[in-house]
Structure 1
Amino acid sequence: MSQECSILTTQNSAPAVIDWCNAVEGEFKQESYTAPIDFDADSLLKRSEQTLRHQIAEATRDPSIPFAGLGPSVTVGIDCEWVRDPAGDGNIILSAQFFLVGEDGDFSKIFYTAGKSREGRLRLGHLLAQVIDGAMDAGAIREWPRQVVACGFFFRADLAAFADLPEFKNKLDSVGGSVASVRSDVTFDVPVRTQESFVMVQAGVLRRLSVSFIDMARHAPVGTTLDMVGEQIGLPKIELPHGMIERMDKYLALDKAGFETYAIRDAEIAAKFYLRLRDAAKLWTGRDSLPATSSGLAVRLFRKCLDEAGFDFDAVFGKREQTSQIWDRDRNALRTIKTSVPNQLRAIHAPFVSSCYLGGRNECFSFGPSAVGLWNDFDLRGAYTTGLVYLRQIDYDGAFTTCDVENFTGHVAGFAKVRFSYPAGTRFPGLPVQTERNGLIFPLTGVSYCTAPEIEAALAVGCDLHIQHGVVFPWKEGSDTRIFETFTTHIRDLRARYPKGSLDEQYAKLIGNGLYGKLAQGLHAKNVFDTRTEKSVELPHSVLTNEVMAAMATGFIRAVLAEVLAGLPNHRNVLSVTTDGFLTDATFEELDLSGPMATRFQTLCERVAPGSKMMELKHQVRQIVAMKTRGQLTGLPMEKGDTAVVLAKAGISPPVPKGEHNRWMLDLFMRRTPEDKTQIRPFVSLRQQWLDDLDLVRFDRPVRLNLEFDFKRCPVSPVMATLGYGEHLAFETVPWTTVEAAKRARVIFDEWRRKRCLKTLSDWESWSDFYQFTIARDRHRSSTGGLAILYSTEGSVGVMRRMFLRAYTQGAWGIKATMSYSELASWLTSEGYPTSPSEVKNAKRAKLAENLVPSTGKVLKLISLLKESFPSMDVERFLIQAE
């Protein structure tokens, strides 16, 4: 503040301030200010000349035009407490609490409401204004801020508690199932107090609040709770008395002070977590702000790394600038706009290359309890962040098509549609085939859209393949510079700065993993709900979306896993593989890491983390229970009471403390029945919440329990295995010959499991009967156009019995009638195969169909009985060859 202004404030003379303001240069030269002024000297001393002039001038303007502040941005954590309304489908809002962090201190305030409807609730804009006013009075901030950064955890829950959400909900953006400010801030026009700091304003003048909403849940690793964040930043959540978390209304009535301490702490954690990450983002990127998501920060950091390494962004990503013209109605003239679009050759090949972008390899190779031994959970170190370093600078203009297999070996960015056939006996085929409902399947034969590394790995194990269409993008000549190396090493260095497992270290890891997802965003069509238009829109590409890079990164990781699996000793087993790791009884020394894929990956590890090994051991246990893809439990830990377990819950949420999840899941698996249901508690969808102005509530919805094998591979060798307190069916698997066989088996099994589970050898026999008969009947129907015979509760034995009756009454297949219909019925019934005389009589008119009966143990027992009385019976006419 100038010396003149300082003198004027000490004189405490309103006319003197007016005279001074009228005398300064600028916009005030032409306008005199005559309104009375009341001011506080201490408050004035904290303000700059610019702010003083601005506030005085704004107080004289048209009061119908809202005006904004010039003060520094402030951070406000927001949290609400509520209970479910037992009489309706919404929530009873108890309170809304705010924690403001200003330039001179912190300020918190809690507002109470018991409104059951939106009309009875408080308005967020007005509450924020009161918080700012209170913070100014308390000295936490000096003036009205130019922006408020509002922070919360899972914002669409808290924002639904305010009456004015319907008025600003279409100014928010959908972000990963929640909402935040991405494209623009939300503005609130709110009345100001009669005395706004030191300036007496006219009645009816409105202040404008510019609010940026950021959901901190989008900056936390999956599974991170508010409690965990609080512990990490030194603000542990307040412990509630037992049973109060679901009855906050009762807790408020019993202990208001305790309620307020608990409630405000949640808002404080949100605000302080934001500031912690904002400071980290400034340190890492040089920009004093935090994007809406951690992946957004990853993009920002990556682009900074590119700039520092001297890369041209458009050249690296194969883009060019495109200009077009539109008519600007505001200016009544043409306006030129510039957009970034893919280069011509990249655009031409993009649809085909996108077809080669597939997900991670996820398979279950066994079912049920494993043998007791030593089972190791190995992971590729930093799979995708390291895999990105595989990419060199791409020559997009040099792309060419080819069907020559030799062009797809070595360090090549190639993509192809191939017809393939692995040698019989191959345990782990490595070429993926995409299915509509069952994800990736890896059969022995078929057609695959894949990448050059996968082709090379397949050729190494003797796969016969023919390229039907292929395209190769050469690397730019004369440079081994890796596009993502600077970023990856930067993430490594960031993580190394902080203690392992700390919030900062885990956040740096989250950023590293988040970059990969941006490369693939929008490659496969996916509709998302747009909160601004309230319509479904196709997920757009990100600024980094690049089909060549995304497909190569995922294909390379699948190829590394395929090579390592293929190199395992034959006496070693693999229970499952999940994206970047696998469960095996092989030791580290037995892993063959000498192949070209493993060698390249190890070289990348050395580049980004010198001295590191490409495989790391995550867990060791003595017994695993494998159920399905992403469904593995620990049968026996390394030591009794050991809490380090392998646990993938196949989408189930156990209603017990986390430490008891494994045992609860084991009990559920062992005791399951076909009628079992599990309760899921999904939130109301964002679409429904936005369209119907609903509170965020959970709905208890029973769904059929499914812990059965998923048939991505073919089951073989069933046995009963011991698991702690009982026995359970276990079997190994082999790859399907074709993907069609896999899909067919899954459809048949889904019908069979409506009445049974695969738990015993009897269940296995029942399933095998049903499967083999269904296959045979389908084959018969395709060739003859008829059904021939139906499957009944008797199973394949019933099919054999009824087909025998048809052959007997029609004198077919070498059977000579030696008994009357009544005698035959009586004899079969006495032998344990209930049959009525009318059933025998009707069989004479029924259709005969060959090779419909599976050769199960029960079927062979009946055949043995029949052969004793009818030795000339042609058994081969009844039986089918098992698949």
Structure 2
Amino acid sequence: MPSSSLFSATQFGKPNGRRYKKGRYLVFGFDTEYQRRPRTNAAGQVEIENEVLSYQFSCRVVTPDNAGEEPHWSGIILPDGPLVSDRLSLEAFVTHALAEGLKAYPDVKMPVDIYLVAHFTRADVPAFSDFKDDERRGALNLDNIRSLFMNVSSDIEVSLPCDDGKGHVRIAVKIRDTLALAPAGARSLAQLGDILGFEKLSLSDDPDKDLHYETHMADFMAADWERFRDYAIRDAEICDQYTTRLIRLYFDQTGTFKLPVTLTSIGVDLIQNHWKKLGLDPAYVVGKETVEERRWDKKRERYVTETKTVSLSKLHWSEDFFTECYHGGRNEQFWFGPAPEGVWYDYDLSSAYPSAMSLIGEVHWDSIRPITPTKELKKGTFLSGDLAFANVNFEFPDDVRFPVLPVRTETGLLFPRKGNSTTHISEINLALQLGCKIELVEGRYIDSDYVFSRIREHGYPIRPFLDFTKHCIIERQKHPKKNLNNLFWKELVNSTYGKTAQGLRERRVYDLRSAQTQRLEPSKITNPVYAAYITALCRATLGEIMNALPRSVEIFSVTTDGFLTTATDAQMRKTTIINLGWDYRSARGILVGDTQIYETKHVIRQPIGWRTRGQATLKPSQVSDFEGVNLEPREDERVVLAKGGIKLDRTWSKSQQNDEIVELLLNRKPTDTMAVVLGAGIREMHEKGMDFVDKTMTKRLSMEFDWKRRPHAAGDVPVQFGTQSEVSHLAFSTIPWDSVEQYNTVRELWRSYTKDAPRCLKSFEDYQKWATYFESKLAAQGPAEAYLAKEDGILKRIRRDLVIAQRLRKAGTHELKPSAVDQDVLPDGFKLKAETFANILNDRFGIPCAKTDVDNARKKKAFVTKQVPNCDQSVKILEAIKRDLFPKLDIEQFLTPKATFDLKIVERDMAKPLQEDL
């Protein structure tokens, strides 16, 4: 434990205040090493907590003009013991590091503004003793930012005693997290180290020891102190250097010397600065204006004037409508189970959202007007680049494989044949081209300048996102791949779209200060018109390509901006030069000088799938499959894997995880569960003062179809995977649902079917049982549904109603076929005995029946018609009974009205390509 230190006020500089251009910071990378240990609490329960082994720091004095010459020091501190009471306070930790720095650099004035930065603060901040005490934890002023601990609203104040006894030096500490500042694809500390040229150190040269030390850091510390010290400090050094680089990058681009809270927030600042340089008002670009409002301040007992940003009145009146037009990406699984073997290509639209965003023109918000007659919508008045949006009733022809108008449901987007959709004109125009019937309900149009022949007077281009997107791409191309600058610019351009959509859909986050969940606030550039346009254009472009491909081409799944298909590069090229493809090509040409609008991400031989975002690889590709593909045949590119929410060991390679997923799918049983290891949540940690520890939960394994499409053709497919013997698994292709109502009905009845007795669809027989259950339940709506047994419900209902009808001589049961009771002619006064009747039903027609069942049913005094669910099973049995038992049986009196739809499926060899029109 470090001893207390006394400081002189002359050793420290002045606070930065808001002088960001001349600011001075102490960048303070920190990290803790710990290992898990059990303890028994006051209630006698065993809990897991972290035994903190060490605290390490790496500090750097950073100013606008000392790049490459920053005073820098690092060190490690050991607590007095393993108990929580032995832990350091944040103040003691900071004090010790500052004292070390002043010893190393006695002539340097220490900044009083500190960025205390770790990677994944949920693990490291709780290591301070302050976090364990309710009152002291509140003084840390922690905020929940992306489920990480930071203090954005208020700094942490640390008072350092002065040696003259006259006062204290006040330090302002800002906790930040490099995880929130890391680009996509480089989220781990090791990956950040690679970007900086810092190789993350190993725990041991012996692989077995390395694995052991990962969970037994105390053993590592005892076995090799020097290596432990270097290993521990390295993580703090990575945080320190990465933070310093980002501060300087941000300063170079904005002239503001500070560290933003998240990487995406940098993009917002940069694009607003870009608009200012173009002479555009950043608020007006996103349909807002700055207004002043007066309100009464009770404390000061006077009116105060506040400035706030609000939506322009014209936009405000239609904002809810435009928000309804905003949807996310298209995500569907078109095939369940193993697909036919062949060569499957995983294509993505190149930089989908940035490319679509760059097409948006300068908007005239005061021009918002309604679209009134349907003919204005249908006659081609509006082009895909126009900001035209509409709510429409629609109906696609039966031969359209992939309807393109989205309908929002509780479980995501659905693309049915008919319904009601609220979206952008790009999807509506595409639907019209596919022969869809459209009826306008309501629409809005906004005038915008997006044609390059129309240039503003001062000569600047009039697409507000175009130059920014192009600037980011140019800056990115100046640097090699996996370089920090390259990843920085890539992340900025890719994340800007997300900021236009932030806060449009209800998303709640837990606020640590108020201890309540609150709605995520919009960003400075949130705009429903832009978000709706961008996502719709990407969905429409994908929809156009998928529908233009030959019907012999299979499409396995679609995920946001790409799809997995058997379409060759030549076939893809033919489909990307029409209509929306041309718009997209023009954007790519302007942005990067290349009109190729798609790229190949993976090539595989045989996929297997189960639900949206649930796909794996049965057979990886061969090197020869990459011929003519602009992609290296590396191991990761030979496997497609989307785990559908299943958590696996993160240390496994992609191939290892793929193999585990396939094994789970092929060998699953209805009762299978998985042990899921999850870290403690930020809410629970803050409320209880908990360490970040793992919790193991048992969850039911769910790898069944999600029913976003209607099963069409099915069969059992033999599968040989890994070293296991050959098994067969159900596979089915799909077609669109006629309506959202059909989808909701199927999901509801599937929940009912699996609620009390979990079931898997692993064979064609499994599917047939489910389809029979579905049809019978759907046909038995209303009174007929009451008391219908889950097991053999149809058979038991036929038994009951047939016995009642025969007792009362109803529905044609008055005449019995003599051969049914082994007679040539029935004698006068013949009565069908209960035991004989039971045996006939049981033995001849497969209806479970005993004498007591007949006796009980015969006690009923009324025959109620139309109580037997009208399905294939019931019709076949009643027809057999009419043929062999009651020749005058009136079958219609027993059956309910036919179900509005069913889940009947075409049985076929699913190991072969369909090669048919669907």
User: Corresponding residue for 1:836?
Assistant: 850
For residues 73-472 of structure 1, what are the structure 2 equivalents within 5 Å?
A: 73-87=25-39, 88-102=47-61, 104-113=70-79, 119-139=85-105, 142-165=108-131, 166-168=136-138, 171-192=141-162, 201-203=163-165, 205-222=167-184, 224-240=187-203, 241-327=210-296, 334-405=303-374, 406-407=376-377, 409-410=382-383, 411-436=385-410, 438-472=411-445
8 A contact 2:325–2:422 mirrored in 1: yes
Equivalent residue letter for 2:493: G
Structure 1 residue 567: deviation in Å?
1.4
Structure 1 residue 74: deviation in Å?
1.8
User: Corresponding residue for 1:616?
Assistant: 599
TM-score (norm 1): 0.86
User: Corresponding residue for 2:840?
Assistant: 827
1:662 aligns with 2:665: no
Equivalent residue letter for 1:235: F
**Aligned pair count?**
810
Equivalent residue letter for 2:780: R
Equivalent residue letter for 2:737: W
Structure 2 unaligned spans of 5+: 1-5, 16-21, 40-46, 62-68, 204-209, 456-460, 624-633, 721-725, 818-831, 903-918
User: Corresponding residue for 1:601?
Assistant: 584
8 A contact 1:71–1:142 mirrored in 2: no
Q: Secondary structure at the match of 2:129?
A: coil
User: Corresponding residue for 2:826?
Assistant: none
User: Corresponding residue for 1:65?
Assistant: none
Structure 1 residue 866: deviation in Å?
6.3
1:770 aligns with 2:773: yes
Equivalent residue letter for 1:110: I
8 A contact 1:797–1:862 mirrored in 2: no
Q: What is the alpha-carbon distance in structure 2 between the residues aligned to residue 854 and residue 250 of structure 1? A: 70
1:868 aligns with 2:884: yes
Q: What is the alpha-carbon distance in structure 2 between the residues aligned to residue 366 and residue 387 of structure 1? A: 29
Q: What is the alpha-carbon distance in structure 1 between the residues aligned to residue 71 and residue 659 of structure 2? A: 48
Structure 1 unaligned spans of 5+: 1-36, 40-50, 59-69, 193-200
Equivalent residue letter for 1:245: E
Counterparts in 2 of 1:52 and 1:829: CA distance versus 1, 3 Å: closer
For residues 707-856 of structure 1, what are the structure 2 equivalents within 5 Å?
A: 707-724=703-720, 725-753=726-754, 754-778=757-781, 781=782, 785=783, 787-794=785-792, 796-815=794-813, 816-817=815-816, 819-831=832-844, 832-844=846-858, 845=860, 848-850=864-866, 852-853=868-869, 855-856=871-872
Q: Secondary structure at the match of 2:329?
A: coil
Q: What is the alpha-carbon distance in structure 1 between the residues aligned to residue 635 and residue 122 of structure 2? A: 39
8 A contact 1:71–1:143 mirrored in 2: no
Q: What is the alpha-carbon distance in structure 2 between the residues aligned to residue 140 and residue 673 of structure 1? A: 69
Q: What is the alpha-carbon distance in structure 1 between the residues aligned to residue 482 and residue 236 of structure 2? A: 24
Give the root-mean-square deviation of aligned CA atoms: 2.9
Deviates more, 1:565-574 or 1:575-584: 565-574
Deviations 1:32-72 (A, max 9, x none): xxxxx999xxxxxxxxxxx96988x99xxxxxxxxxxx994
Counterparts in 2 of 1:752 and 1:169: CA distance versus 1, 3 Å: farther
User: Corresponding residue for 1:485?
Assistant: 466
Structure 1 residue 749: deviation in Å?
1.1
Q: Secondary structure at the match of 1:699?
A: strand
For residues 462-611 of structure 1, what are the structure 2 equivalents within 5 Å?
A: 462-476=435-449, 478-479=454-455, 481-591=462-572, 592-611=575-594
Equivalent residue letter for 1:825: A
Structure 1 residue 391: deviation in Å?
0.9
Deviations 1:612-659 (A, max 9, x none): 411111111111101100001011111299542110000112236123
Deviations 1:250-277 (A, max 9, x none): 3223333332222111111111222233
Counterparts in 2 of 1:250 and 1:169: CA distance versus 1, 3 Å: farther
Q: What is the alpha-carbon distance in structure 2 between the residues aligned to residue 514 and residue 486 of structure 1? A: 16
User: Corresponding residue for 1:34?
Assistant: none
Q: Secondary structure at the match of 1:700?
A: strand
Counterparts in 2 of 1:732 and 1:53: CA distance versus 1, 3 Å: closer
User: Corresponding residue for 2:827?
Assistant: none
Structure 1 residue 328: deviation in Å?
5.8
Q: Secondary structure at the match of 1:682?
A: strand
Which residue of 613, 617, 623 corresponds with 1:630? 613
Q: What is the alpha-carbon distance in structure 2 between the residues aligned to residue 476 and residue 96 of structure 1? A: 57
Equivalent residue letter for 2:838: A
Structure 1 residue 314: deviation in Å?
2.4
1:699 aligns with 2:687: no
Structure 1 residue 809: deviation in Å?
4.1
Counterparts in 2 of 1:585 and 1:205: CA distance versus 1, 3 Å: same
Q: Secondary structure at the match of 2:215?
A: coil
Q: Secondary structure at the match of 1:245?
A: helix
Equivalent residue letter for 2:447: P
Q: Secondary structure at the match of 1:499?
A: coil
Structure 1 residue 712: deviation in Å?
0.9
Equivalent residue letter for 2:834: Y
User: Corresponding residue for 1:33?
Assistant: none
User: Corresponding residue for 2:647?
Assistant: 653
Q: What is the alpha-carbon distance in structure 1 between the residues aligned to residue 873 and residue 287 of structure 2? A: 63
Q: Secondary structure at the match of 2:355?
A: helix
Q: Secondary structure at the match of 1:732?
A: strand
Q: What is the alpha-carbon distance in structure 1 between the residues aligned to residue 265 and residue 320 of structure 2? A: 25
Equivalent residue letter for 1:657: W
Structure 1 residue 229: deviation in Å?
1.8
Counterparts in 2 of 1:796 and 1:723: CA distance versus 1, 3 Å: farther
Q: What is the alpha-carbon distance in structure 1 between the residues aligned to residue 300 and residue 837 of structure 2? A: 98
Q: Secondary structure at the match of 1:164?
A: helix
Equivalent residue letter for 1:481: I
TM-score (norm 2): 0.83
Q: Secondary structure at the match of 1:823?
A: helix
User: Corresponding residue for 1:679?
Assistant: 675
8 A contact 2:264–2:492 mirrored in 1: yes
Deviates more, 1:571-580 or 1:79-88: 79-88
Q: Secondary structure at the match of 1:85?
A: strand
Equivalent residue letter for 1:835: C
Equivalent residue letter for 2:194: E
Q: What is the alpha-carbon distance in structure 2 between the residues aligned to residue 143 and residue 53 of structure 1? A: 5
8 A contact 1:189–1:209 mirrored in 2: yes
Q: What is the alpha-carbon distance in structure 2 between the residues aligned to residue 543 and residue 555 of structure 1? A: 22
Equivalent residue letter for 2:382: T
Structure 1 residue 330: deviation in Å?
7.7
Counterparts in 2 of 1:150 and 1:53: CA distance versus 1, 3 Å: closer
Structure 1 residue 392: deviation in Å?
0.5
Q: What is the alpha-carbon distance in structure 2 between the residues aligned to residue 541 and residue 141 of structure 1? A: 46
User: Corresponding residue for 1:32?
Assistant: none
